[in-house]
Structure 1
Amino acid sequence: MTNGATPTLDTLPRRFSDFETVGEALDYAAMGVRGLNFHDARGTLVRAYPFAELRTDALANADRLIARGVVPGDRIALIAETGAEFAALFFGVIYAGAWPVPLPLPTSFGGREAYIDQLAVQLASSDPKMLFYPGEIAQMAGAAASAKGIEGIEWETFAASSAPRSTLPGAQPDDIAYLQYSSGSTRFPHGVAVTHRALLDNLAAHSHGMELIESDRCISWLPWYHDMGLVGCFLSPVANQVSTDYLKTEDFARRPLAWLDLISRNQGTTLSYSPTFGYDICARRMSSQTKASDRFDLSRWRIAGNGADMIRPDVMQSFVDAFAEAGFKASAFLPSYGLAEATLAVSIMPPGEGIVVELVEETQLSGCGAATDRPQRFRAIVNCGKPVRDMRVEIREEDGTPLPERAIGKVWASGTSIMEGYFRDPEATAACMVDGWLDTGDMGYLSDGYVYIVGRAKDMIIINGKNHWPQDIEWAVEQLPGFKAGDIAAFAITTPGGEETPAVLVQCRTSDNEERAKLRDAIREKVRAITGMNCVVELVPPRTLPRTSSGKLSRAKARNLYLSGEIQPYDIAA
């Protein structure tokens, strides 16, 4: 990049996360000229932040924290706004020997009270000494802190305070570095305790899997309270000394093509990650009247990572169709699979192999015998790559028995970067950790050493003893005109007669009651045609379906809100 951004290249010899602690990683990165770069909604550079400056600010914050009585092992909650203030506080907390706890910003999916409630629950779980937040959300964040008896501090005020130089405690590799809340943890939050060793081992494996090269530069809009944003696009650039350019997540949501503009202006070789929905929204925003090559140059995009939700091959193809003329290569796609409990990465596709799918008959996916009453139907399952270095993956039966190749079951993982456990929750830890192995809660299979993820075990809909994936039902509705991923949530309910049946909530944009009735019937028929099931169809207002803090649909929460009456469907005459 130019215009004052930190350079892509450096004379400092690159080290691939081979450090004892996270603080040591920043100490080394600060010896070079690379760093973080923050851009506004239009992609204009607002602040270049070299690693050396980040370290100076972080050490000053550590002194301030110690002066306020912070001791090793204290939790310090931080609202994870993408910017220099959060970065300097995160590393300041680490230098002080305490544990940073990144927490989400408000989203457009819920109101003020819902955000305060979410923060309050996560504060109760992590039991921090204090909560830091930007001034613009002081009222909401302060209310959550006050409700839990925690000191709330605006970080602008904190940064302006002075403190004497202090003696910093020395961290050990097996000390906890930070707590990570998974995106779905709202009512029953699970704080994942990640050690310095686990983090750095995963970051080394991640950079090894991506085959990081000297000219790589990272570009990201991912939120820093989600593991892919925090670990993959904030901590990895520090530990692997990669200059990185950021858009705020809310700016991407308003102007998604600004992400591709930033990539186009990049003069290095580009690394950038996104969940499927990020690629989807860009492909949809690309006007058919505009030639992509007139605006974008995506020819240097070496790694277009994809993870954090189910990877949709149809969406990936739409992105290629929209941007191939701008130089985007389908081989740049790099599917991956990971979760916060494994620090981040479990498996990564070798660079250059792109999106690879296998067609799996749905009776295999559901674990049932072959269907005889209707034609075979297949789902495309995306190859999520090979286990990263020092990670083992097994597929197991419900009782823990290992399964052979190409048999679908629970995905288990073991390795140096698997979490220490959930913070102060031994029961939840014991429920998913056995002899160093993590039950990921996902379903999948192995084929020739590659990992294929089929779905989330807890989302499975079981009707009359047969398993159905909600994605298949949702995909059926998406085939109708006017619907897209995220408009539909499928889950199982119990009817008044005591029978289990699938329910489908669909966000509806038409206000005409007759049109709604026709739409409901068309959805019911489409689901029956594709899945063979009758289902309850409820049309709900736009922006009703709940999301996790990372923007993913939360089926479990949608089901709870529907059953409790908090989601009110439109009243449509039968």
Structure 2
Amino acid sequence: MTTLQSTPTQDALPRRFADFATLGEALDYAAQGTRGLNFHDARGALTRAYPFSALRRDALAAAWRLVAAGIKPGDRIALVAETGTEFAALFFGAVYAGAWPVPLPLPTSFGGKESYIDQLRVQLSSCDPTMLIYPPELAVMAGAAAEAGGVQGVDWGELLATEPTPVALPTAKGDDIAYLQYSSGSTRFPHGVAITHHALLNNLAAHGHGMELIDSDRCISWLPWYHDMGLVGCFLSPIANQVSTDYLKTEDFARRPLAWLDLISRNQGTSISYSPTFGYDICSRRISSQTRASDRFDLSRWRLAGNGADMIRPDVMQGFVDAFADAGFKASAFLPSYGLAEATLAVSIMPPGEGIRVELVEETQLSGVAAGQDRPQRYRAIVNCGKPVRDMRVEIREEDGTPLPERAIGKVWCSGPSVMVGYFRDPDATAACMKDGWLDTGDMGYMSDGYIYIVGRAKDMIIVNGRNHWPQDIEWAVEQLPGFKQGDIAAFAITTPGGEETPAVLVQCRTSDDAERTRLREEIRDRVRAVTGMNCVIELIPPRTLPRTSSGKLSRAKARKLYLSGEIKPYAIAA
């Protein structure tokens, strides 16, 4: 029996940091070497080694099949983004054919069949594709979404089984659109981010330079390919920068998160692996306090432990260090970063080796309250998200657009070659966030000595009596109580019958005992009051009720909408 061999970490092909005119050129070059993509099962066993040369061969065949099916340059091809060879070949096949691939999400454990069909239908309406291509196992749901959206639904097993006939393919230019990316929050009112080849390659080059890639680096990822960090950071970037990559499917990580660390441990070179904060948190919680991490893992060669896609929490990062230091993990490996789909991906990256750096900011500076009021000082730890990547400029501005000085908190704006050309067929939404080549990220932060500190989302801000409060602070306060964890709590503003704005806090509760629920409500109310000085509406709700974005992050805006419409039903308060 032949043992499967992964693609090598190193080969003789000189590394180029994404200095190509188009994405197709990047794959053409990578295919001249022996590196590639490697797919693993839920236990981390290799199931398929896929050299870049094989990906290019399959992508060209896919492009010929798409052209034979009538696809023309500029057509949108919606693709359900399952981590595997079929999606990879079809994505690049669409690119070679001059079409625009549009990665769409897989169903998650949040919500059921109908909500997934509805999500696909809405995104199909937004991107107006010629066809929706999906894996065979999703034929019922994806097929229903395609039918509802008036789009041709295609099972990729059937498409890829047809005999390809070689035809001449169009020649792409740098300012052509390469693909459309939906940001993780774009479900009900989706905005398709249009990214050119030039913008993409500029950002991918910034990855290579910013992470200071070395020959021994290998990428390990479980991130979904429909999210910008997974698609751009862990699929397209390894191709354009010629880095062999090992993949776990996202759903396999969710069931067996420590398999991620097993893959990193087995890599004999240096590892690069990214995760949102919650991924590190899950691993820390899964490792038994009675088990020495060093008995199972060797994380000493994990060179860059990237962190992004949500607010970076220093307490979680420290918890990961505490759990895995004896397995060789170094805190200096942490690589905080900041980015968004509208900037292709990366806006800032921490210089390698500097790790997590935190500044304590007094709450009055965050909330706009005048100092000297008769209340104790409270501080929030704000994580340094690094320096702007190559060619990216960042400014902090007032609400009216006036630039702010060092260490003043305001809206984060960025400008550079990798910023999107706009939202697809949505000039109003584009105009609302772009001005003179600058992008309003929608985030709040400040600059200090050339580093970016992100303090929260502007649109999530809770304003009560003229004071600004970050929902993360309220949620964090509740998470410190026994029995609650990150993701159990959503805080947002509502208007009382008297016309006043007040915070509402939804808390997923696992107990069915009325007396215990009453006690929890009071404990939560007291905790929030102690931290914020405010009285809040506290609602206990069933587990797995809070809505998530397609990347698994809490959606406060949707939680608020579902609560106000009555679709989220809190437990009744016992008489």
State the TM bucket, normalised to the shorter chain. over 0.9
Post-superposition Cα deviations, 1:330-386, rounded to whole Å, max 9, x if no partner, equal 000000000000000000000000000000011100122115231000000000000
Paired position in structure 1 for 2:505: 504
1:86 aligns with 2:87: yes
For the residue of structure 2 that corresponds to 1:229, the secondary structure is helix
> For residues 348 and 431 of structure 2, what CA distance do their matches in structure 1 show?
24
Matches within 5 A, 1:367-382: 367-370=368-371, 372-382=373-383
Amino acid at match of 2:29: Y
Q: Tell me, yes or no, if the aligned pair for 2:9 and 2:218 is still in contact at 8 Å.
A: yes
Which residue is 1:65 aligned to?
A: 66
**For the Cα contact (< 8 Å) 1:202–1:417, is it kept in 2?**
yes
2:228–2:340 CA contact under 8 A, matched in 1: yes
Counterparts of 2:299 and 2:276, CA distance in 1: 18
Once the two structures are superposed, residues 41-88 of structure 1 have per-residue CA deviations (whole angstroms, 9 ceiling, x without a partner) of 000000000000000000000000001111100000000000000000
Contact 1:224 1:230 in 2 (8 A): yes
3-state SS of the aligned residue for 1:137?
Answer: helix
1:503, distance to aligned residue in structure 2 (A): 0.3
Match of 1:536 in 2: 537
CA shift, 1:163, in A, is 3.2
Partner of 1:283: 284
Q: What's the CA shift for 1:251?
A: 0.2
The 5 A counterparts of 1:186-335 are 186-335=187-336
Deviations 1:492-545 (A, max 9, x none): 001111111000000001110110000001000000011100000000000000
Displacement after TM superposition at 1:3 (Å):
4.7
**TM-score (structure 2 length as normaliser):** 0.99
1:431 Cα deviation (Å)?
0.3
- Read off the aligned partner of 1:22 and give its amino acid letter: L
Q: Report what 1:554 is aligned to.
A: 555
Helix, strand or coil at the partner of 1:303: strand
Q: What is the rounded CA distance, in whole Å, between the counterparts of 2:149 and 2:296 in structure 1?
A: 49
Partner of 1:438: 439
Identity percentage of aligned residues = 83
Aligned residue for 1:348? 349
**Secondary structure of the residue that 2:206 maps to in structure 1?**
helix
Determine the C-alpha separation between the residues in 1 that align with 2:372 and 2:305.
38
Distance 2:525 2:342 in 1: 38
Code of the aligned partner of 1:57: D
Letter in 1 for 2:446: Y
Measured after TM superposition, the shift of residue 164 of structure 1 is 1.8
The question of whether the paired residues in 1 share the 8 Å contact of 2:460 and 2:470 is answered with yes
Query: 2:172: which partner in 1?
Result: 171
Q: Could you give the per-residue CA deviations for residues 405-431 of structure 1, whole angstroms, max 9, x where no partner exists? A: 000000000000000100000000000
Is 1:363–1:371's contact at 8 Å kept on the other side of the alignment?
A: no
For residues 325 and 177 of structure 1, the distance between their equivalents in structure 2, rounded to whole angstroms, comes to: 44
- Secondary structure of residue in 1 paired with 2:494: strand
Q: Which secondary structure state, in structure 1, belongs to the residue aligned with residue 94 of structure 2? A: helix
Contact 1:76–1:100 (CA under 8 A) maintained in structure 2: yes
- The offset of 1:289, in angstroms, is 1.1
Q: Could you tell me how far apart the structure 2 residues matched to 1:371 and 1:217 are?
A: 52
Contact 1:79–1:103, Cα closer than 8 Å, also in 2 = yes
Residue 573 of structure 2 corresponds to 572
Matches within 5 A, 1:481-496: 481-496=482-497
Query: Which residue in the other structure is 2:113 paired with?
Result: 112
**In the TM superposition, what are the counterparts of 1:139-178 in structure 2 within 5 Å?**
139-178=140-179
- Please name the residue that 1:54 is paired with: 55
Q: Which aligned pairs between 1:40-51 and structure 2 lie closer than 5 A?
A: 40-51=41-52
**What code does the residue aligned with 1:281 have?**
I
- Equivalent-residue separation in structure 1 for 2:540 and 2:371 (angstroms): 33
Over residues 445-477 of structure 1, what are the superposed CA-to-partner deviations in whole Å (9 max), with x where a residue is unaligned? 000000000000000000011110001100110
Using the TM superposition, name which of 244-253 and 474-483 deviates more: 474-483
* 8 Å contact from structure 1 (residues 489, 558) kept in 2: yes
Q: Partners of 1:198 and 1:369 in 2: how far apart?
A: 43
Q: Give the SS at the match of 1:66.
A: helix
**2:4 and 2:49 in contact (8 A); partners too:** no
Distance 2:374 2:167 in 1: 74
2:38 maps to what in 1?
37
Q: Which runs of 5+ in 2 are unaligned?
A: none
Task: Kindly provide the CA deviation profile for residues 231-286 of structure 1, in whole angstroms up to 9, marking residues without a partner as x.
Answer: 00000010000000000000000000000001000111100000000000000001
Q: Secondary structure at the match of 1:445?
A: strand
Say whether the 8 Å CA contact 1:102–1:179 is kept in structure 2.
yes
* Structure 2 partner of 1:10: 11
Q: d(CA) in 2 for partners of 1:151 and 1:478?
A: 46
Aligned CA-pair RMSD: 0.7
Q: How many Å separate the matches in 1 of 2:146 and 2:561?
A: 27
CA contact (8 A) 2:4 2:48 kept: no
Residue ranges of structure 1 left out of the alignment (5+ in a row): none
Contact 2:338 2:348 in 1 (8 A): yes
Classify the secondary structure of the residue corresponding to 1:253: helix
Q: Does 1:24 align with 2:10?
A: no
Give the AA of the match of 1:481: P
Distance between the aligned counterparts of 1:479 and 1:164, measured in 2?
A: 61
- 1:159-195 CA-to-partner distances (Å, cap 9, x unmatched) read 0012321100000000000000001101110000000
TM normalised by structure 1 equals: 0.99
Q: Work out the CA distance in 1 between the residues paired with 2:411 and 2:203.
A: 22
* Deviation sequence 1:206-241 (CA, Å, 0-9, x none): 110100001100000000000000000000010000
**Distance in 2 between the 1:228 and 1:324 partners?**
26
Matching residue's letter, 1:538: E
Distance 2:149 2:381 in 1: 47
The code of the aligned residue for 1:436 comes to: G
Residue identity in the other structure for 1:188: F
> Aligned equivalents of 2:96 and 2:370: distance in 1?
57
Whichever residue aligns with residue 83 of structure 1, its letter is: G
Name the aligned partner's letter for residue 438 of structure 2. W
Q: 2:22 is matched by which residue type in structure 1?
A: T
Aligned partner of residue 502 in structure 2, secondary structure: strand
Q: CA 1:371/1:489 → structure 2, altered by over 3 Å: closer, same or farther?
A: farther
Whether contact under 8 Å (2:4, 2:47) holds in the other structure is no
- Deviation of residue 127 (structure 1)? 0.2
Per the TM alignment, residue 573 of structure 1 is displaced from its structure 2 partner at its CA by: 2.0
Aligned to 1:386: 387
